[in-house]
């Protein structure tokens, strides 16, 4: 199903591009500006099984995206300036702000030089336990477990099943079955099941944070860059809506306090982990407001419009997806054409 979905989106982007629809719909579709979502930026390492590829783009693609945005007349602004323009409901030119979730080291090594070339400000949303090297990045642990396994035994709701994972195609099928089943249920079960699968394959679930995420001393150096703002992203990266209110509030407040203690300034901006409606909803938006965050961003797709001034802790973003690293996709996302249907349904 994921392959069919990806193919359909690629065809849609290509169709919008070939028809010229991005150009003639942009006036209607484009908002005041756009906040981009990224995770990893690094050279692509070719591999047949890469279920998390959507979370990484190449430095060249980021460079091409920013060059195209400048060509289309976008201003590159800080998050504070982006929010100011939304608050007043006026932006003479469309604006663009870049955000990176989780605090990966490759953002410093590969993305920051691109941002500096373009003079593009960015916000790095840091999960504080990732910076401590003491949290599970469960989606990477699950991928690595399936990379190593030749078969796995899992309960997908109808008793234990044995899934062959010899070929890349079998690994992809197992990923789809396990990932989406676990994502739809309690997070405690998701994490415990991934931990079990990882341990069976000799995968250290804490190694990914230690190896891939910037530690506090590295973040402190990155934060000195005038283009960089540090935001909060919880302590352990939970899907907040799946947890009791007190736990959710603690995750949000304690991540901000950890950043204040380690970096010397409390962040004013927040990003919900995972960020879709299954992970963050009205309760979480209210908590972010109560805690005093100026803005909080979701992963619900869309541009920013004047109406978003009323919902500063429920802002949409536009993902740069590793499956769609093409000029056609960039033009569509910057024009806002893929989100017209969501706006018509009141979801954008």
Per-residue pLDDT tens over the stretch 69-87: 999 999 999 999 999 999 9
Residues 200-238 as b or e (16 or more Cβ within 10 Å = b): ebebebbbbbeebbbbbeebeebbeeebbbbbbbbbbbb
Long-range contacts from 238-242, C-beta under 8 angstroms, 24+ separation? 238/187, 238/273, 239/187, 239/273, 239/274, 239/278, 239/279, 239/280, 240/272, 240/273, 240/279, 240/280, 240/284, 241/277, 241/278, 241/279, 241/280, 241/281, 241/283, 241/284, 242/186, 242/187, 242/278, 242/279
Dig out the tokens for 248 from the structure.
Answer: 């959710």
d(CA 302, CA 266): 28
d(CA 37, CA 171): 27
The hierarchical CATH code for the domain 2-133+211-344 is 3.20.20.370
User: The whole model's pTM is what?
Assistant: 0.95
Residues of the chain with pLDDT under 70: 1-2, 341-348
What is the predicted pLDDT for the residue at 25?
Answer: 87
What is the predicted pLDDT for the residue at 347?
Answer: 57
Tens of pLDDT, residues 166-215: 999 999 999 999 999 999 999 999 999 999 999 999 999 999 999 999 99
The segment(s) of the chain belonging to CATH 3.20.20.370 are 2-133+211-344
What is the predicted pLDDT for the residue at 1?
Answer: 45
What is the predicted pLDDT for the residue at 3?
Answer: 77
Name residue, tokens 């429920």.
314
Are the CB atoms for 39 and 101 separated by under 8 Å?
yes
């Amino acid at each position: 199903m994921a392959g069919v979905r990806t193919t359909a989106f690629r065809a849609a982007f290509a169709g919008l591009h070939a028809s010229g629809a991005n150009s003639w719909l942009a006036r209607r579709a484009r908002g005041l500006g756009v906040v981009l979502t990224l995770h990893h930026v690094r050279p692509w390492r070719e591999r047949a099984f890469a279920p998390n590829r959507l979370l990484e783009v190449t430095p060249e693609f980021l460079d091409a995206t920013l060059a195209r945005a400048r060509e289309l007349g976008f201003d590159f602004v800080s998050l504070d300036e982006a929010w100011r323009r939304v608050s007043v409901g006026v932006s003479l030119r469309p604006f663009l702000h870049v955000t990176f979730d989780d605090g990966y080291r490759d953002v410093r090594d590969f993305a920051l030089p691109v941002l500096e070339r373009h003079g593009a400000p960015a916000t790095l949303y840091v999960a504080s336990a990732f910076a401590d090297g003491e949290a599970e990045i469960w989606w990477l642990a699950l991928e690595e477990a399936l990379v190593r396994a030749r078969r796995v035994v899992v309960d997908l709701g109808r008793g234990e099943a044995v899934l062959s994972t010899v070929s890349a195609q079998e690994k992809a099928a197992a990923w789809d079955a396990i990932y989406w089943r676990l994502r739809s249920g309690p997070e405690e079960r998701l994490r415990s099941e991934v931990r079990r699968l990882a341990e069976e394959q000799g995968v250290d679930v804490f190694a990914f944070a230690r190896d891939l995420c910037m530690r506090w001393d590295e973040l402190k150096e990155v934060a000195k860059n005038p283009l960089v703002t540090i935001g909060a992203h919880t302590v352990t990266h939970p899907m907040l809506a799946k947890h009791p209110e007190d736990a959710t509030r603690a995750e949000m407040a304690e991540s901000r306090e950890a950043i204040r203690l380690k970096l010397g300034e409390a962040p004013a901006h927040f990003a919900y982990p995972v960020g879709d409606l299954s992970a963050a909803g009205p309760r979480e938006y209210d908590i972010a407001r109560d805690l005093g965050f100026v803005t909080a961003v979701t992963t619900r797709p869309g541009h920013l419009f004047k109406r978003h001034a009323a919902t500063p802790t429920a802002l949409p973003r536009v993902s740069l997806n590793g499956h769609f690293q093409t000029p056609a996709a960039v033009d569509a996302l910057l024009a806002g054409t893929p989100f017209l249907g969501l706006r018509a349904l009141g979801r954008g």
